[in-house]
Structure 1
Amino acid sequence: MARTIAGGPGQTGEPPGPVPGEPAAAPARVWSTPALVVLCLSGALLLGATGVFLGAVFLHVAPANALSREYRHQVDGIVYPEFEQNWKLFAPNPLQQNVRLDARVRTVVDGGATREHDWLGLTEQDIAAIRGNPAPSHADQNMLRRAWDFYDGSHAGPDGTLTNPRGKLAEQYLKRIALQRIGRTADGERILEIQFRVTAVPVAPPGWAGESPPVTPPARELPWWPVNDEDYRGLA
């Protein structure tokens, strides 16, 4: 007695054919061998560069060890000045002073004589831009302060004696920040020199601490620095 097996598509062991009226499925993308090589090399390069950068930052903030001492110059070259870190891996160091930085310039007048101008409060400008601003910029909050920290960490004494090879870079960085704000002239007169003054006021302890307020040191004036066209290169 013959049997008839009933069933629809897919029940006979054969794959179903395309449904009439529906578009055919798009073929899978096939990457060529050169394209795969380029993608793999680019990914490896990005991962390697990221690993080197993160490793340099880790060695910068980690306690002194054999690796950080051996590769100190290479690490400093990656981190300074754009990526300088103001903390340590196991001991964050909060700010303990309110630092105010002022600048004044010396210009040349008719006849070759020079004239000193009044102090300009650079920190006061930043405070004015921050106060009342719900979203102050990172530059207004930190650029000038970090520039001074960079300078102070590479100089010693009232005469600004260099203590490490980054000292000249710190001077240029601080000078260019001020000149970008002041411009090439003051009252229409060409700027010849610039001088900085810093006042560091220690943060007073809370009232419940029972400690005496720290003594505020006198303002510190840096030597006059010459100004030339190279100091304005790249400044807006």
Structure 2
Amino acid sequence: MDAYDEGSGARHGPDTPSRPAPPPEQVPADSAGPHQPGEPRTGIAALSLRHQIVVALTLAVVAIGVCVHLGMTFLHVAPANTVTKAHGEAVDDWIYPEFEQNWKLFAPNPLQQNISIQVRAGVRGPDGMTLTTGWYDLSAEDGQAIDGNLLPSHTQQNELRRAWDFFVATHDSENRPVGLRGSLSESYLRRIMVLRLDREHAVRAATGGAGVLERVQVRSRTSNVPPPGWSREKVTTTPSYRELPWWKVSQDEVAGGVR
């Protein structure tokens, strides 16, 4: 009696040759899941167990550091909240001075004023008379150096502006220092003025030759940015000045011995 295969519906008798079984499906060697014995290990798997642990710990530390930095940066630029009120000092210690961001998340505050920093010097000539130079507009000079420069330096862009911001933040409206950083901001700003005046040859311009820089005076010139033509906003463009007292300059500072 012939046998009946229910799956294929075919009958197999004694004289019916049996079909050979299909060969097993070939799996490419590179798609094999587990590591095959005898194959060389690559990547981290090629390291010893101790080294694998070291690599894993290093990656974990780097990942944690990146997450902490991103979190601190977010809290720094985010509006004031419960976390920043409770841990604001820790956030500032992490951010300043290397990672400072000069903008605020969700609340940009574009500048609406032009602020120029100007300086003049008191120079003692060979005859012992003290002469006063004219005002040097250092911000305008930096602006001219940046204009058309595809790669302006950070010094040209930020040094003078940040020094003035530092001074204003640590002094009251009467130019009196507030807190321990007031004297530091004065020294920093005065040092920049001495270096810039030396670069401008202010002493030689005032005395016609040899002379000694004795004192400097700094002022800011602030004027509102004019509104666009289509705006109905009315603002005054008359500049206002903030004039600081004269600062005496030591000879060590003039000679570059003070850092």
TM-score by length of 1: 0.69
Asked whether 1:224 is paired with 2:241, we answer: no
1:127 maps to 2:143: yes
Secondary structure of the residue aligned to 1:155 is: coil
* Alignment partner, residue 182 of structure 1: 197
Correspondence 1:193-204 to 2 at 5 A: 193-204=215-226
* Bigger Cα displacement from structure 2, 37-46 vs 101-110: 37-46
Q: Distance in 1 between matches of 2:247 and 2:141?
A: 22
Is the counterpart of residue 152 in structure 1 residue 168 in structure 2? yes
Is the 8 Å Cα contact of residues 225 and 237 (structure 2) preserved in structure 1? no
Is the contact made by 1:100 and 1:124 (CA closer than 8 Å) also made in structure 2?
yes
Task: State the percentage of identical aligned residues.
Answer: 42
Q: Is the 8 A contact 1:86 1:93 kept in 2?
A: no
Shift of 1:44: 4.3
Counterpart of 1:92 (choices 108, 126, 132) is 108
Match of residue 3 from structure 1: none
* CA gap 1:44/1:226 in 2 versus in 1, 3 angstroms: farther
Segment of structure 1 superposing worse, 100-109 or 164-173: 164-173
2:191–2:253: 8 Å Cα contact kept in structure 1? Answer: no
User: Are 1:116 and 2:132 counterparts?
Assistant: yes
Distance 1:80 1:230 in 2: 27
> Match for 1:76 among 92, 111, 115?
92
CA RMSD of aligned residues (A): 4.3
Deviates more, 1:81-90 or 1:196-205: 81-90
Q: State the Cα distance separating 1:57 from its structure 2 match.
A: 2.8
Question: In structure 2, what is the Cα distance between the partners aligned to 1:81 and 1:172?
Answer: 18
Q: How far apart are residue 128 of structure 1 and its match?
A: 1.2
Determine helix, strand or coil for the equivalent of 2:91: helix
Paired residues of 1:197 and 1:222 also in contact (CA < 8 A): yes
Shift of 1:33: 5.5
Structure 1 gaps, min length 5? 1-10, 16-24
Partner of 2:235: 213
Greater shift in the superposed pair: 139-148 or 205-214: 139-148
- AA aligned to 2:162 is R
Paired residues, number = 224
